[in-house]
C-alpha cells in the first residue's frame, strides 16, 4: 500500500481555519526568506538580525516606530481609496498618479497663496488635492461608464503622465533658484504645514486617516450608497434589477477613490515633505493595491496591513548595516504576499491522506 | 440474474456540520437504468461524487465488478469505466465536437483531423447519438451538447454513466430523445445512473429507484413499485403531491394591459413581436412555451430591465411603458426573475442585505435601517418557512427552495398589484414547490394580477385562469383553463396558431 496526498474541495460555505492558514503562511514566508538569504551567501548566524531590523526595530523602538507611522499615513489613504473602487470591482491601479496629482495641486496652492492664514490655507490645500485626485481618477471613471473603456489600463497610463508632469515641474518652472543646480521645488510657506505631534515627524494626518477609515466602514456597511456599491460589486445584474444607477455609481466610486488618494497626496505635502518631490508618491499607489487585497478590503485590516508594509519599507532601508541591499525588503514583501495567497487555498481545500491502490 | 457492476457499501461522508451520506448502500446491476431520487440536499450528488472519486468517503467501501476499489481522483474512476455527466456541461465552446471528445487523449504529436472525425462519428453512430462531429460547440443546441458529453465518456470506454439532472436543460422532446438513447445504451450493456427529482420522468424510465432522504436511503423501488405516489411518499415521508388547488376566484378590473409590445433580445434581434394581453385583478395568466421563445424578454420588459421598442404597457390605467425599474416598483409591479441567483439575489450578500434589495431606497435618511431589516427577515423566515442557519450567512449557501422562498417573500412584501413570476419552481423539490404555489394562489386571492411563466404544463393548466402560449416571441394564442389540453398547448408551442389544427 502506498499513500498519496489527496486534495479535496471543501463543501461550499465551510472554510477552514483562516487564522491557522495565515500562521502557516507566515512560517513558510520566514523559512523561504531564510533560504533566499542563504542562497545570497548571507551568514546564517546573522539571519535573526535581519528580522530584528525589519520588525523589532521598526515597531518596538521609539525612533523606528515614528518612521513607520509617518510612512503608514499615505499608505492608509491610498489603500482606502483603492479599496472602495475594488469593492465595486473597479480596478483602480492609478493610486500613484492620483497621489502625485493631489500632491501637485496642494503644493501649487501653497505656492500661490503663501501669505494666507494657516487654517484656510491648509483647508484649501487639502481640497485642491482631493479635486486633483478626483479629476485624475474621474477620467477613468467617466470613460469606463460612458464608453466602456477598461479602467485598469486608463488608471495605469495616467500614472506615467502624472509622474512625468511632476518631473517637468521640478526641473522646469517650479525649480527652486535657491537650490543652485539641484532640481528641487521650493519649500512651501509654513502656514501650509499640518501640525505635528511635539518634536516628532508624526503629523495629524494619522488622525485624519483613522477618522476616514471609520467613516469608510460606516458608509460602506450602513449607508444606502454603500449598499449600492456592495450590490453593484457583487451582483451587477441584481443591482439593475433593484433599479440602481450603475453607470452613475461607476463615476461616483472613482470620484471618491480619487478624492481619498488625492487627499493622501495633499497631506503628504502639508504634513511631511513640505515641498513637491519627483518621487513623492514613492510606490504608495501600488503598495496600496497589495494592502487592500491582503486586508480583504476591511478598514481595520487595512490599517494593520499599512503599518506592516510601512515597517517593511522602513526596515528595508537599514539593511545596508548588514551589508544587504535595501531590495531585500521588497523580496520579503513579495515572499509574504506569495505565501499568503498560496496558503489561502487551505481555506477552500482540505488535504487528506488516501491509500493508493497498488495495481 | 444480471451481475452487480457497482456495489457501494455503507458509505458515510461528513462535511463539517453536516452528515451528507449516512451509511448509504447502493447496488447497480449490469444494463439497468438506476434512478437516484431525493429532494435538494438529500445527498445524491455527494454519493455520486464519492463514486467518481471527487470525494473520499469517511467509511464504507466501493466494489466495481466485485473488486474493492479506492478511487483517489476521477481519473481512477474513468479507468474503471465510470463516467459522470454533470448538470453544467464541461465543454469548450471554441472547439469542435470532435476536438472536445478527444480532449485529454494521449496521442501522437500530429493528428489527422479526418481520422479523428471518422472515429468520433463511428462511435456516435454505434450508440445512436445524433451529432454533427465537425460543428463547433457554440453552434449546437443544448440537447446536442449533452450528447457530446455522453460521447466523451463513451470515448473513454465508460460503461457506467452517471447523469446529474440530465433533463433540467432540455425541452420535453429533447428529453424523450435522450431517454431513447439511454435505453439503447443499456441494451448495449451500459449501466446508467440518473440523478433527478422529477418523479414523472423517473417513473417513465427507471428500472430501479433508490430514494435518498436526509443522507440516508429511504427505500429502493423496483418494477411495479415505481409509481408517483410510492416514490413521493419515500421522498418526503407522506403523500402530498401538489395538492394545492386554486379556489374559484373573483376576477375584477384590468390591472395590467399590454398592447402590441415588441422588444429586442440580447443578440439585438426581434425577441418579442406584437405581444398583447391583459391580466385582471385576482387572475393568473399562465405563459407556456419552449424556453427561449420570448419569456425572458417578456418578464424583463414588464419589470423595466428591457425597453419596449414598440407598444404600450398600462398598469392600473397608468402608462408605464417608458418607466424605469424603480418607478415600476413604486407603481406596484413585483418580479421574480428567472435566474434567482444572479439577478434575483446576490450570492455573496446575506439574507438581510438581499431582503432589502428592492426596498432599501425607501429607508429614511442616508443610512439603512438594519434593525428593521433584520427583524423583517426574522419574521419572513418564520412566516415563509425559510430554513437557514444564520441570516448573516451568504445566501449562495442556501438551497434553491429556500432561496426562492426568500425571494418571493421579498417581492410579496412590496404588496404588489401585479406579480410577474418567471419559472418560480424551476429546480425545486416538491415541498418547496408546494409552498411557492400556495403563496402564488394566496396573492391571487388578495386580488393580485399574476403572470406565471412556467415550463410545467400540468402546473400551468392547474393554476392559471388563462394560458398564453409564446412561440418565436409572438403569441400563438390565449386559451381558458377549461379548454386547455396538453396536446393542443404542445402544438401551439410549436407555432400552430390557436384553432388552426
Q: What is the 3-state secondary structure (H, E, C) of A33-85?
A: HHHHHHHCCCCHHHHHHHHHHHHHHHHHCHHHHHHHHHHHHHHHHHHHHHHHH
Q: How do residues B227-250 score in pLDDT, each as one tens digit?
A: 777 776 777 554 444 556 666 667
Cβ–Cβ contact A242 with B under 8 A: yes
What gap in Å lies between CA B126 and CA B18, rounded to an integer?
44
Mutate to test the interface with B, among A222, A229, A243 (most CBs of B within 10 A): A243
What gap in Å lies between CA A160 and CA A96, rounded to an integer?
9
Partner-chain contact B368 A6, CB within 8 Å: no
What gap in Å lies between CA B27 and CA B20, rounded to an integer?
19
Q: What is the pLDDT of residue A348?
A: 72
Q: What is the pLDDT of residue A4?
A: 65
Q: How far is CA B71 from each of CA B24, B50, B81, rounded to the nearest angstrom?
A: 17, 8, 12
What gap in Å lies between CA B248 and CA B218, rounded to an integer?
38
Partner-chain contact A235 B349, CB within 8 Å: yes
In order, the DSSP letters of B161-191 are EEEESTTTTS-HHHHHHHHHHHHHHHHTT-E
What gap in Å lies between CA B426 and CA B365, rounded to an integer?
38
Cβ–Cβ contact A296 with B under 8 A: no
So what's the ipTM on this one? 0.83
Task: For residue B227, give how far its alpha carbon lies from the nearest alpha carbon of chain A (Å).
Answer: 34
Residues of B in contact with A355 (CB under 8 A): 70
Partner-chain contact B15 A230, CB within 8 Å: no
**What is chain A's alpha carbon radius of gyration, rounded to the nearest angstrom?**
23
Q: Which residue has the higher pLDDT, A76 or B99?
A: A76
Task: For residue B67, give how far its alpha carbon lies from the nearest alpha carbon of chain A (Å).
Answer: 12
Average pLDDT of the residues in B4-30:
85
Q: What is the pLDDT of residue A359?
A: 38
Q: What is the pLDDT of residue B89?
A: 83
pTM: 0.76
Of B201, B243, B83, B70, nearest to B152 (Cα)? Answer: B83
Partner-chain contact B353 A227, CB within 8 Å: yes
Q: What is the pLDDT of residue B239?
A: 41
Q: How do residues B347-402 score in pLDDT, each as one tens digit?
A: 999 999 999 999 999 998 899 999 999 999 999 888 888 877 678 888 888 878 88
Q: What is the pLDDT of residue B400?
A: 81
Among the listed ranges B217-231, B340-354, B366-380, B460-474, which one has the minimum average pLDDT value? B217-231
3-state SS, residue B2: coil
Mutate to test the interface with B, among A220, A224, A230, A240 (most CBs of B within 10 A): A224
Q: Tell me the backbone φ, ψ of residue B20, rounded to 5 degrees.
A: -80, -40
Closest A-chain CA to B13: A11
Q: What is the mean pLDDT of chain B?
A: 86
Of B69, B304, B348, the CB nearest to A357: B69
State the DSSP code for A344. G
**What is chain B's alpha carbon radius of gyration, rounded to the nearest angstrom?**
25
Residues of A in contact with B349 (CB under 8 A): 230-231, 234-235
Residues of A in contact with B356 (CB under 8 A): 227
What gap in Å lies between CA B256 and CA B452, rounded to an integer?
13
Q: Which residue has the higher pLDDT, B224 or B441?
A: B441
Task: For residue B361, give how far its alpha carbon lies from the nearest alpha carbon of chain A (Å).
Answer: 7
What gap in Å lies between CA B9 and CA A9, rounded to an integer?
23
Partner-chain contact B329 A235, CB within 8 Å: no
Q: Which residue has the higher pLDDT, B470 or B457?
A: B470
Cβ–Cβ contact A89 with B under 8 A: no
- Count of CB atoms within 10 A of residue B302's CB? 23
Q: What is the pLDDT of residue B41?
A: 67
What gap in Å lies between CA B208 and CA A190, rounded to an integer?
88
In order, the DSSP letters of A135-164 are HHHHHHHHIIIII---HHHHHHHHHHHHHH
Task: For residue A91, give how far its alpha carbon lies from the nearest alpha carbon of chain B (Å).
Answer: 19
What are the 10-residue block averages of pLDDT along chain A, 359 residues in total? 64 62 83 87 83 89 94 97 96 96 96 92 96 97 94 95 94 83 85 90 95 96 96 94 95 97 96 90 91 90 92 86 79 83 76 56
Q: How do residues B147-188 score in pLDDT, each as one tens digit?
A: 899 999 888 888 899 998 888 777 777 888 889 889 988 998
Q: What is the pLDDT of residue A354?
A: 61
Task: For residue A159, give how far its alpha carbon lies from the nearest alpha carbon of chain B (Å).
Answer: 33
What gap in Å lies between CA A63 and CA A168, rounded to an integer?
35
Among the listed ranges A31-40, A77-86, B98-107, B271-280, which one has the minimum average pLDDT value? B98-107
Amino acid at each position: 500500500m502506498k499513500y498519496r496526498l489527496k486534495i479535496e474541495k471543501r463543501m461550499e460555505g465551510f472554510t477552514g481555519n483562516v487564522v491557522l492558514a495565515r500562521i502557516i503562511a507566515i512560517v513558510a514566508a520566514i523559512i523561504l526568506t531564510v533560504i533566499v538569504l542563504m542562497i545570497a551567501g548571507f551568514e546564517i548566524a546573522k539571519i535573526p538580525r535581519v528580522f530584528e531590523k525589519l520588525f523589532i526595530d521598526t515597531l518596538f523602538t521609539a525612533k523606528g516606530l515614528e518612521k513607520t507611522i509617518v510612512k503608514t499615513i499615505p499608505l492608509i489613504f491610498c489603500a482606502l481609496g483603492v479599496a472602495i473602487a475594488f469593492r465595486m470591482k473597479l480596478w483602480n491601479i492609478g493610486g500613484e498618479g492620483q497621489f502625485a496629482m493631489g500632491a501637485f495641486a496642494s503644493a501649487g496652492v501653497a505656492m500661490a497663496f503663501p501669505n494666507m492664514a494657516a487654517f484656510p490655507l491648509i483647508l484649501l490645500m487639502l481640497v485642491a488635492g482631493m479635486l486633483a485626485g478626483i479629476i485624475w481618477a474621474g477620467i477613468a471613471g467617466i470613460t469606463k461608464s460612458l464608453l466602456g473603456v477598461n479602467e485598469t489600463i486608463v488608471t495605469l497610463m495616467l500614472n506615467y503622465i502624472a509622474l512625468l508632469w511632476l518631473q517637468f515641474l521640478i526641473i522646469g518652472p517650479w525649480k527652486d533658484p535657491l537650490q543652485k543646480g539641484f532640481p528641487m521645488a521650493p519649500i512651501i510657506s509654513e502656514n501650509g504645514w499640518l501640525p505635528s505631534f511635539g518634536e516628532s515627524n508624526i503629523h495629524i494626518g494619522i488622525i485624519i486617516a483613522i477618522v476616514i477609515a471609520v467613516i469608510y466602514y460606516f458608509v460602506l456597511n450602513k449607508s444606502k450608497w454603500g449598499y449600492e456599491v456592495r450590490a453593484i460589486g457583487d451582483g451587477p445584474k441584481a443591482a439593475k434589477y433593484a433599479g440602481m444607477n450603475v453607470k452613475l455609481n461607476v463615476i461616483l466610486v472613482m470620484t471618491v477613490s480619487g478624492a481619498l488618494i488625492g487627499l493622501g497626496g495633499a497631506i503628504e505635502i502639508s504634513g511631511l515633505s513640505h515641498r513637491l518631490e519627483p518621487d513623492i508618491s514613492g510606490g504608495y499607489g501600488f503598495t496600496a493595491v497589495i494592502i487592500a487585497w491582503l486586508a480583504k478590503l476591511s478598514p481595520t485590516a487595512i490599517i494593520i496591513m499599512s503599518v506592516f508594509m510601512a515597517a517593511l519599507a522602513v526596515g528595508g532601508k537599514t539593511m545596508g548595516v548588514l551589508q544587504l541591499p535595501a531590495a531585500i525588503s521588497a523580496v520579503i514583501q513579495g515572499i509574504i504576499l506569495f505565501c499568503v495567497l498560496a496558503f489561502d487555498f487551505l481555506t477552500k481545500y482540505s488535504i487528506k491522506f488516501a491509500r493508493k491502490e497498488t495495481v | 440474474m444480471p451481475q452487480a457492476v457497482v456495489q457501494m457499501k455503507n458509505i458515510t461522508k461528513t462535511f463539517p456540520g453536516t452528515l451528507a451520506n449516512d451509511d448509504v448502500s447502493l447496488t447497480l446491476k449490469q444494463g439497468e437504468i438506476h434512478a437516484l431520487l431525493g429532494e435538494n440536499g438529500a445527498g445524491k450528488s455527494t454519493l455520486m461524487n464519492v463514486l467518481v472519486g471527487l470525494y473520499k468517503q469517511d467509511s464504507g467501501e466501493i466494489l466495481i465488478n466485485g473488486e474493492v476499489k479506492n478511487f483517489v481522483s476521477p481519473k481512477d474512476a474513468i479507468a474503471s469505466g465510470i463516467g459522470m455527466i454533470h448538470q453544467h456541461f464541461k465543454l469548450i465552446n471554441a472547439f469542435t465536437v470532435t476536438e472536445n471528445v478527444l480532449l485529454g487523449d494521449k496521442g501522437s504529436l500530429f493528428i489527422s483531423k479526418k481520422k479523428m472525425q471518422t472515429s468520433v462519428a463511428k462511435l456516435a453512430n454505434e450508440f445512436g447519438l445524433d451529432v454533427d462531429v465537425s460543428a463547433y460547440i457554440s453552434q449546437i443546441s443544448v440537447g446536442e451538447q449533452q450528447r457530446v458529453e455522453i460521447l466523451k465518456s463513451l470515448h473513454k470506454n465508460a460503461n457506467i454513466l452517471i447523469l446529474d439532472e440530465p433533463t433540467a436543460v432540455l425541452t420535453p422532446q429533447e428529453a424523450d430523445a435522450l431517454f431513447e438513447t439511454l435505453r439503447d445504451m443499456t441494451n448495449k450493456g451500459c449501466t446508467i445512473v440518473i440523478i433527478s427529482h422529477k418523479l414523472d420522468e423517473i417513473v417513465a424510465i427507471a428500472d430501479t429507484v433508490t430514494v435518498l432522504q436526509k443522507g440516508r436511503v429511504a427505500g429502493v423501488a423496483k418494477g411495479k413499485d415505481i409509481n408517483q405516489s410510492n416514490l413521493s411518499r419515500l421522498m418526503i415521508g407522506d403523500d402530498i403531491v401538489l395538492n394545492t388547488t386554486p379556489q374559484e376566484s373573483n376576477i375584477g378590473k384590468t390591472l395590467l394591459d399590454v398592447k402590441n409590445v415588441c422588444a429586442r433580445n440580447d443578440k439585438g434581434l426581434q425577441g418579442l413581436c406584437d405581444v398583447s394581453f391583459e391580466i385582471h385583478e385576482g387572475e393568473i395568466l399562465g405563459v407556456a412555451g419552449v424556453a427561449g421563445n420570448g419569456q425572458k424578454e417578456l418578464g424583463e420588459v414588464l419589470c423595466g430591465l428591457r425597453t419596449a421598442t414598440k407598444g404600450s404597457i398600462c398598469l392600473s390605467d397608468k402608462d408605464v411603458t417608458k418607466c424605469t425599474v424603480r418607478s415600476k416598483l413604486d407603481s406596484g409591479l413585483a418580479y421574480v426573475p428567472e435566474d434567482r441567483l444572479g439577478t434575483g439575489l446576490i450570492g455573496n450578500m446575506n439574507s438581510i442585505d438581499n431582503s432589502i434589495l428592492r426596498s432599501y431606497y425607501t429607508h429614511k435618511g442616508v443610512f439603512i435601517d438594519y434593525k428593521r431589516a433584520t427583524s423583517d427577515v426574522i419574521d419572513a423566515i418564520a412566516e415563509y418557512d425559510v430554513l437557514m442557519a444564520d441570516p448573516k450567512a451568504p445566501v449562495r449557501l442556501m438551497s434553491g427552495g429556500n432561496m426562492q422562498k426568500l425571494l418571493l417573500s421579498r417581492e410579496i412584501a412590496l404588496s404588489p398589484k401585479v406579480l410577474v413570476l418567471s419559472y418560480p419552481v424551476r429546480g425545486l423539490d416538491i415541498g418547496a414547490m408546494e409552498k411557492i404555489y400556495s403563496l402564488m394562489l394566496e396573492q391571487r386571492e388578495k386580488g393580485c394580477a399574476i403572470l406565471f411563466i412556467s415550463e410545467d404544463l400540468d402546473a400551468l393548466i392547474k393554476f392559471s385562469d388563462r394560458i398564453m402560449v409564446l412561440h418565436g416571441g409572438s403569441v400563438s394564442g390565449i386559451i381558458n383553463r377549461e379548454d386547455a389540453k396538453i396536446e393542443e398547448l404542445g402544438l401551439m408551442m410549436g407555432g400552430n396558431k390557436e384553432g388552426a389544427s
